[in-house]
A = this chain, B = another copy of it.
Amino acid sequence: MVIVIQCKDKVGLVADIAGVMAKFNINILTMREFVDINEGAFFARLVVEPYNDIAVLQNALQKGLPSDAMVKVNPEPEKKIVVLVTKEYHCLSDILIRNHFKTLGASVEAVIGNYSYLSNICERFGVPFYEISHEEKDKVAFENEIKAQLAQYKFDYLVLAKFMRILSPEFVASYPNQIINIHHSFLPAFIGANPYKRAFHRGVKLIGATAHFVTNDLDEGPIIVQQTIPVNHNYSLSDMIRAGKEIETSVLAKALHFVFEDRVFVFNNKTIVFE
């Protein structure tokens, strides 16, 4: 059973938390804890033996902690997600496969695409796909259609699995810390459009990918996972894009794994990840 806590730091926090566990005779299996000293912020993730009365335990924990404390005892182990896509299949397919074999740590409630390209692969896995085109309408109208569709579902996270439209601040603000994007470069290198093309012309020797929460600043949200792979002069632009897809798939999968297991905390536009 997982417990996550985020609050202002003060002397005795760990003792208080561990004291509650001891009082309830709950063994702590793993405890990961981090204090951001400069900012006076405290983060903890515990895996403890199961306990029946969640509400009582939650209450006992909350009482000992600062009033701003975010405490989650046994957060939903099976998250719900909706996936937004455009044309590229690699990230979505990886998610669908894991979803199908029940190793995603979440269930895919629906997929929304601004083209119909990925409808067929969703159908093969029995996952609802909705085409909402961005064409011949303004962004407000487009996003309102997405919102309307999203309103049909309960979900914990919105995963942008190569969704190539920029979302408005208003849209993003509706789902705070709930939107996860995979960006096709090692941020903050090559912020914005055409990162591979620019990487190719710059002659970089590594390419990377970044999974991050989406905030109003394009490509500037809290980073969850980043990885790079080596490239060299033999790589054409299309080789780079192909290699990039591999690392994008892998980085997004890793980030989702961490988020779905409640290992990720967001604070001051950065993340704490208890890997």
Chain A interface residues toward B at CB < 8 A: 11-19, 21-22, 25-37, 89-90, 93-94, 97, 100-101, 121, 124-125, 186-190, 202-206, 208, 222-228, 232-234, 246, 250, 253-254, 269-273, 275
Contact yes or no, B206 A226, CB < 8 A: yes
Task: Known contacts A206-B226, A271-B203; decide if A34 and B186 are in contact (CB<8 Å).
Answer: no
Q: How far is the CA of A190 from the CA of B269 in the complex (A)?
A: 17
Q: How far is the CA of A7 from the CA of B224 in the complex (A)?
A: 34
Tell me the dominant secondary structure on chain A's binding face. mixed
A-B contact pairs, 18 of them (CB 8 A): A12-B21, A14-B21, A15-B19, A28-B35, A34-B233, A89-B97, A93-B101, A94-B97, A124-B125, A186-B206, A186-B228, A187-B202, A202-B223, A203-B222, A203-B223, A205-B223, A206-B228, A208-B228
A275: chain B residues within 8 A (beta carbon): 232, 234
A224: chain B residues within 8 A (beta carbon): 205
List the number of copies, as a whole number: 4
Contact yes or no, A271 B187, CB < 8 A: no
Task: Known contacts A233-B270, A273-B233; decide if A31 and B29 are in contact (CB<8 Å).
Answer: no
Task: Known contacts A124-B125, A188-B202; decide if A272 and B233 are in contact (CB<8 Å).
Answer: yes
8 Å CB contact of A25 from B11, B100, B246 = B11
A254: chain B residues within 8 A (beta carbon): 246
Q: How far is the CA of A134 from the CA of B101 in the complex (A)?
A: 24
Contact yes or no, A233 B35, CB < 8 A: no
A14: chain B residues within 8 A (beta carbon): 14-15, 17-18, 21, 28, 31
